[in-house]
Amino acid sequence: MKSIVRWGILGTGKIAGTFAEELPFSQTGRLVAVASRTAGGAREFAARFGGVRAHGDYPSLLADPEVDAVYISTPHPFHAEWACAAARAGKHILCEKPLAMTHAEASAMVDEARRAGVFLMEAFMYKCHPRTTRIADLVRSGAVGRARMIEASFSFAAAFDPAKRLFNKELGGGGILDVGCYTMSVARMVAGAASGKPFENPSRVLGATVQTSTGVDSFAAATLEFSDGLLAQIFCGIGLTKGHDLVVFGEEGRIRAPYFMSPPGEIEIHRGDNVTVEPASGSTHKYALEADAVAQALPGLESPHMSWADSLGNAAALDAWREAS
């Protein structure tokens, strides 16, 4: 474990601000630098946090000798380019989800990190929270009997604007890449827990989407087949409001986790007429826990919370979802 990790943030969007705001609540992280595509943007972001160096371009941050690790929060299509550049610069990498646009890109990122001997993790912050571990433990222990069906959804209705990233095909817009990656990830995690593994990849993916006029998916659904007859139905969208819940149906009951992707929160365990509600617990600063997960894994190259194999499996399943649609 590394006691202190000096962070640089590459990209100054909303999620970068959230990471920077929560980093002081971590046990190990300290923000030292930020980079934007413009010097003005970097200075404006850095001024919010005090004592943080502002770099007017990404290569300058990667050349900063005081940066140990970079948090990449650019739009999706630029993740692979800058993660590979960071690896070549000897920086550890926490890259926002989805790790890449495709499985091929994600594989290239993993290969680059392996060659450079640097850490790489896809930033699924919910995977680093004890609530998520608890859900997997309940499934693994048979708390509601053998798991037979998984349902997961993450969908919201954003005002349509073809100029915004969410609706821009060239910037990786659409529901599947933006939030469907969460539903795919949690379904694979639960399927893995049901068979005593960290995750399981679906053997078959059936999917459908409704497209916007800009060519991105407004909302999408998929049915996943796993081993031993386990099925999952997942839903995502940027153009339709729906629940944000995970439900695991077992032969003796069901587990429900509202807002599974944003812990902490309650966990409901239903067995017949009996309902047990485990109260919300664990830190509200999930991005701080994510930063600490990086430090805990160093000097290793992967985190048990989100391994390379897990990220590659998710990328392949997302490819299959989009192809099936």
pLDDT digits 0-9 by tens, 132-175: 999 999 999 999 999 999 999 999 999 999 999 999 999 999 99
pLDDT digits 0-9 by tens, 185-201: 999 999 999 999 999 99
Residues 51, 154: one domain?
no
pLDDT computed for residue 325 by the predictor: 81
Q: List the domain range (segments joined by +) for residue 273.
A: 130-282
Strands 120-123 and 92-96: parallel
Q: What's the longest Cα–Cα distance across the chain?
A: 60
Residues 185, 269: one domain?
yes
Q: Is residue 56 part of a domain?
A: yes
Residues 162, 263: one domain?
yes
Q: Is residue 60 part of a domain?
A: yes
pLDDT digits 0-9 by tens, 91-126: 999 999 999 999 999 999 999 999 999 999 999 999
Order of strands, edge to edge, in the sheet holding 274-278? 204-211, 217-225, 231-237, 147-155, 245-250, 253-258, 267-271, 274-278
Q: Which two tokens stand for residue 96?
A: 């926002």
Q: Is residue 288 part of a domain?
A: no
Q: Is residue 156 part of a domain?
A: yes
Residues 196, 87: one domain?
no
Average pLDDT for residues 26-30, to the nearest whole number?
98
What share of the chain in percent tops pLDDT 90? 98
pLDDT computed for residue 115 by the predictor: 98
For the cut 90, the answer to whether the pLDDT of residue 181 exceeds it is yes
For the cut 90, the answer to whether the pLDDT of residue 2 exceeds it is no
pLDDT digits 0-9 by tens, 286-309: 999 999 999 999 999 999 999 999
CA distances, 262 to each of 38, 42, 113 (Å): 31, 28, 28
Order of strands, edge to edge, in the sheet holding 5-10? 53-55, 29-35, 5-10, 69-72, 92-96, 120-123
Residues 138, 103: one domain?
no
For the cut 90, the answer to whether the pLDDT of residue 243 exceeds it is no
Angle CA 35–179–244, to nearest 5: 130
Could you identify the residue written with the tokens 């153009």? 239
Q: Is residue 25 part of a domain?
A: yes
**Distance in angstroms (rounded) separating the CA atoms of residues 128 and 287:** 9
Residues 87, 159: one domain?
no
Q: Which two tokens stand for residue 276?
A: 């047990």
Residues 107, 39: one domain?
yes
Which CATH number does the domain housing residue 54 bear?
Answer: 3.40.50.720
Domain count, the chain: 2
Do 270 and 256 form a contact (C-beta atoms < 8 A)? yes
Residues 104, 173: one domain?
no
Residues 98, 189: one domain?
no
pLDDT computed for residue 262 by the predictor: 96
Rounded (10°) CA dihedral 254, 255, 261, 262: 140
Do 208 and 221 form a contact (C-beta atoms < 8 A)? yes
pLDDT digits 0-9 by tens, 193-235: 999 999 999 999 999 999 999 999 999 999 999 998 999 999 9
For the cut 90, the answer to whether the pLDDT of residue 285 exceeds it is yes
**Distance in angstroms (rounded) separating the CA atoms of residues 177 and 288:** 24
Kindly report the pTM of this predicted structure. Answer: 0.97
pLDDT computed for residue 1 by the predictor: 87
pLDDT digits 0-9 by tens, 163-177: 999 999 999 999 999
Residues 120, 134: one domain?
no
Of 105, 124, 143, the position where a domain reaches its end is 124
pLDDT computed for residue 276 by the predictor: 97
Do 46 and 74 form a contact (C-beta atoms < 8 A)? no
For the cut 90, the answer to whether the pLDDT of residue 258 exceeds it is yes
Across the chain, mean pLDDT equals: 97
Residues 264, 138: one domain?
yes
